[in-house]
Structure 1
């Protein structure tokens, strides 16, 4: 299948394996099923040689393998398919005029995954010939679209930042105010563009060279319902929701909490010499039982008071199934980085909620206390 660039209404900033295994994969399935029409123009934004090499490979072949490996409903999944949602790939540093023309004339949605520091601007300016930062590039492109008299577009950032749409808007608005001092441009950004918060959840565990990805079966792209919003594709794992907050809290206080509690127990029980992966920890009866008892007896009873209607038991079961994925090497040592801070963010709020509802959480309290003793 060859996709024309004039149908590439989705501009994707980033060639990360996550986007290839998440957004681009959803768009590919939607296109193949005839449920949507817009393909993707990928933009490579960094100056890294390996990133440019990947972008050139993607521009040349415009399709790539996605291997899905893991467990779903107790059954092993190990499948591979070709993703065919990419109409082209541009390197921003080398092909800016082409990118700007496409952004002005064709774009309808912007998708991004620019990493942990992707919204940092530093000393960058959108007035540069090619700005260095992602917000600088985006502000420059949006200004070109505004000057051409075109309508606004929808921005669907996928960075792991709470309120990512709001934060991206604030960042771009500040750049626009500083660099252009044009109230009409600021009004266009504010009123004509949709800056939408989203939540992404999928482990894309490995790259396939030169372009491709390995992902787990589970996937979610939750998108905040917003007046005037049209979604770029139609896929069961893409959900428009009234509020992202319950989904953020569910992920933080079930999946992320469970990861950190496993680390707590792994260290506390002295099992680090023989166990290094999450799936290995789940095969150790004492660790698995400790985690299940925590979730069933302390965490879920609290969250059911705070997050009614989210079927937390099903999410717990899915989380545990993801943890025993035989194809995923998720290192406990990686999760253990910044452990005290993660405990404060993931476990402490559940303990606070429990007190409000008069519920006891002794296991949570013990883990919180052990993490506090590590500080300083």
Structure 2
């Protein structure tokens, strides 16, 4: 079966996000077609997942959480994935699918997905994801195929532009072909995207448990091809409001709660929903949202959007089914404070933020 969607990454996030959206859209006749999933890490511990993702019966995704204050639970079956490959063992087939079938490429390769490795090249099977992608794009270019749309889902600001710049630089060094470099720059569609859904647990060997809330915001540009039509996919003129709301309300809230958890020396097993059951903690968070965060967004004309997103965020935090442990959120805490708190202060000069300043100062 031809697969016009090629996905790099087997994460539980993509299973409950892009893969689920395409599956639901296929049922409604609103998708380009099915998906080939490619494992880029070569991790043998995930070999079982590879086969299970493309099983004929599909894999489960369970949606659990609150919608309009009411608990919901839905068991779904994802059947959009019909082929699963690994770059370590199936490189020739990965290249064939990329060259001959793909119209849209999706990636979610983790926090270090854009990192390069010393001595890596486009010869043989490259080791890093950027070099793998470069080799595949070069093969497609040499094959005379049409350009395609690339939809990176890594949590990188302006991820499409960042990935494009990286690949153009790599192409200039490793494939001295000016025509190919121009093709990458001018013909391939590198979309900036923002993804948001908390996927709390894996289901073995494939599947996931996720919250009801989900969005996939994709910045509009000429020539953009979408994998499907779906209510959670929004094509927007500017990602900035969506990115700022997520970073400086949802992510900032997580960091504030993690900071309180660290400062108080609370239980290793405590989750977001548990710490918010402490009325003093909840009141502190609400005060910061109300007196420091929302006024910052008001300065930029997004006050109403911020108030609505705060309400949505608090409902997501209160999800009774979600075991989102604070010890996990507290990883790389200092860096998160800089990006989420200090970055917000820098974006909103002149807005009084004494509580955020005190936390950032520690």
Q: 76-85 or 299-308: which moved more?
A: 299-308
Pick closer, same or farther for the CA change 1:267–1:37 going to 2, 3 Å: closer
Answering whether residue 335 of structure 2 is matched by residue 341 of structure 1, we say yes
Pick closer, same or farther for the CA change 1:109–1:354 going to 2, 3 Å: closer
- The answer on whether the counterparts of 1:266 and 1:287 sit within 8 Å (CA) in structure 2 is no
Q: Match of 2:94?
A: 99
Q: Match of 1:360?
A: 352
- The answer on whether the counterparts of 1:124 and 1:132 sit within 8 Å (CA) in structure 2 is no
Q: Match of 2:283?
A: 289
- The answer on whether the counterparts of 1:10 and 1:39 sit within 8 Å (CA) in structure 2 is yes
How far apart, CA to CA, are the structure 2 residues paired with 1:102 and 1:170? 24
Pick closer, same or farther for the CA change 1:301–1:34 going to 2, 3 Å: same
Pick closer, same or farther for the CA change 1:44–1:150 going to 2, 3 Å: same
Matched residue of 1:347: which SS?
Answer: helix
- The answer on whether the counterparts of 2:63 and 2:212 sit within 8 Å (CA) in structure 1 is yes
Equivalent of 2:172 in 177, 180, 184: 177
Shift of 1:351: 3.4
Answering whether residue 195 of structure 2 is matched by residue 200 of structure 1, we say yes
Equivalent of 2:310 in 283, 308, 316: 316
Shift of 1:337: 2.8
- The answer on whether the counterparts of 2:37 and 2:85 sit within 8 Å (CA) in structure 1 is yes
Pick closer, same or farther for the CA change 1:244–1:124 going to 2, 3 Å: farther
Q: TM-score, normalised by structure 2?
A: 0.94
Q: 329-338 or 181-190: which moved more?
A: 329-338
Q: Please give the per-residue CA displacement for 1:96-117, whole angstroms capped at 9, x wherever unaligned.
A: 2222122111110100011111
How far apart, CA to CA, are the structure 2 residues paired with 1:202 and 1:106? 29
How far apart, CA to CA, are the structure 1 residues paired with 2:246 and 2:10? 25
Equivalent of 1:327 in 321, 328, 332: 321
Equivalent of 1:33 in 28, 38, 62: 28
Matched residue of 1:330: which SS?
Answer: coil
Shift of 1:136: 1.5
Matched residue of 1:311: which SS?
Answer: helix
Pick closer, same or farther for the CA change 1:97–1:273 going to 2, 3 Å: closer
Matched residue of 1:185: which SS?
Answer: helix
- The answer on whether the counterparts of 2:56 and 2:79 sit within 8 Å (CA) in structure 1 is no
Shift of 1:309: 6.9
Pick closer, same or farther for the CA change 1:23–1:271 going to 2, 3 Å: same
Shift of 1:352: 4.2
Q: Match of 1:233?
A: 228
Q: Match of 2:247?
A: 252
Q: TM-score, normalised by structure 1?
A: 0.91
- The answer on whether the counterparts of 1:158 and 1:198 sit within 8 Å (CA) in structure 2 is yes
Pick closer, same or farther for the CA change 1:280–1:130 going to 2, 3 Å: same
Shift of 1:60: 3.8
Q: Match of 2:132?
A: 137
Unmatched runs of 5 consecutive residues or more in structure 2: none
How far apart, CA to CA, are the structure 2 residues paired with 1:274 and 1:128? 46
Shift of 1:353: 4.9
Q: How many correspondences in the alignment?
A: 362
Q: 330-339 or 285-294: which moved more?
A: 330-339
Unmatched runs of 5 consecutive residues or more in structure 1: 372-376
Shift of 1:36: 2.2
- The answer on whether the counterparts of 1:124 and 1:136 sit within 8 Å (CA) in structure 2 is no
Q: 225-234 or 331-340: which moved more?
A: 331-340
Matched residue of 2:296: which SS?
Answer: helix
Answering whether residue 59 of structure 2 is matched by residue 64 of structure 1, we say yes
